[in-house]
């Protein structure tokens, strides 16, 4: 799928004020934006159907914009070797482990939403996860042939054989889980909503929002209408964590 030059997927920069290597490879890095004195760090996990050709650069504008709003941002890159699916999550957790003594919020977009939900289950100090148009049901996504077989290429097999990597087939994170989907999304709504429908009865802090007149990239483009929604969710999560709101 091709996009015009001004589309968010074709944008990049500015770079973070600090870049940390959490491993030896060129893709084992995390860029930081904003004031490191903030007690909460928001980690961004990019999507791209788990393919090696799509990296974190299209989230740099969002990272910088969120930092301008007062958030401390960590933009994660991770190795994307198809057929080695556990490496994706291992890298993300390794990147996050570089930050000590701060509360954590995760934002994951598309395939990054799947990874964010899984990572949040493993992070004790995670106060919230925002999964934007997430592939939260791998079996359902496989049936839809998302990304021309992207799920099978990522896993190196059938989704039913990787239940531990399928968000809908494992227990949800203990933190706030905010699932956000868009009306005009090329990922069918049920691939995200199935997750919410399964867990809403026994997880009081799981939410699902559908944004009208918006597409797959609305929430990651700081120039668009979804940015206000995203910043409100982040602010509310931090207020809940601090006891300001319930």
- How far apart CA 91 and CA 186 sit, in angstroms, is 27
Residue 16 lies in a domain: no
Query: Is pLDDT of 57 > 90?
Result: yes
Q: Which residue range is the domain that position 156 belongs to?
A: 21-240
**Taking residues 221-228, what's their average pLDDT?**
91
Q: Give me the number of domains the chain comprises.
A: 1
CA–CA dist 154, 189 (Å, integer): 21
245 located within any domain = no
Give the CATH number, domain containing residue 61.
3.40.50.1820
* Residue 57 placed within a domain: yes
Q: What is the pLDDT of residues 115-124, one digit of tens each?
A: 999 999 999 9
Q: Where in 48-193 does DSSP place strands (E)?
A: 72-76, 103-109, 126-132, 176-184
The answer to the question of residue 5 being in a domain is no
If you average pLDDT over every residue of the chain, what do you get? 95
Residue 165: inside a domain: yes
- Kindly report, residue by residue over 176-203, the tens digit of the pLDDT: 999 999 999 999 999 999 999 999 988 8
* Residue 187 included in any domain: yes
Residue 246 confidence (pLDDT) above 70: no
Predicted confidence at residue 203, as pLDDT, reads 80
Residue 193 domain flag: yes
Answer whether 0.95 is exceeded by the pTM: yes
For residues 188 and 133, the answer to whether their CB atoms sit within 8 Å is: no
For the CA atoms of 96, 242, 67, 234, the dihedral, rounded to the nearest 10 degrees, stands at 90
List strands edge to edge, sheet with 40-45: 18-21, 29-33, 72-76, 40-45, 103-109, 126-132, 176-184, 206-215
Element (H, E) at 18: strand 18-21
pLDDT band at 168 (very low <50, low <70, confident <90, very high): very high
% of the chain surpassing 90 pLDDT: 90
In a domain, 11, yes or no: no
End-to-end CA, the chain: 42
* 172/196 Cα distance (integer angstroms): 10
């Amino acid at each position: 799928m091709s996009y015009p030059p001004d589309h968010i997927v074709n944008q990049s920069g500015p770079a973070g004020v600090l870049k940390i290597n959490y491993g030896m490879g060129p893709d084992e890095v995390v860029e930081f934006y904003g004031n490191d004195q903030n007690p909460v760090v928001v980690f961004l996990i990019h999507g791209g159907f788990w393919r090696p050709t799509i990296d974190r650069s299209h989230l740099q504008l969002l990272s910088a914009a969120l930092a301008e709003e007062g958030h401390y941002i960590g933009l994660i890159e991770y190795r994307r070797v198809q057929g080695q699916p556990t490496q994706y999550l291992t890298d993300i957790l390794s990147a996050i482990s570089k930050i000590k003594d701060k509360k954590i919020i995760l934002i994951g977009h598309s395939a990054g939403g799947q990874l964010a939900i899984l990572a949040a289950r493993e992070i004790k100090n995670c106060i919230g996860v925002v999964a934007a148009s997430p592939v939260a049901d791998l079996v359902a996504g496989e049936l839809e042939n998302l990304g021309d077989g992207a799920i099978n290429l990522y896993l190196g097999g059938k989704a039913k054989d990787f239940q531990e990597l399928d968000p809908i087939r494992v227990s949800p994170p203990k933190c706030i889980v905010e699932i956000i989907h868009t009306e005009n999304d090329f990922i069918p709504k049920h691939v995200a909503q199935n997750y919410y429908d399964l867990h809403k009865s026994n997880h009081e802090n799981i939410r699902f929002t559908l944004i009208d007149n918006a597409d797959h990239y609305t929430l990651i483009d700081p120039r668009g209408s979804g940015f206000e929604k995203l910043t409100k969710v982040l602010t509310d999560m931090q207020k809940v964590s601090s006891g300001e709101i319930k």
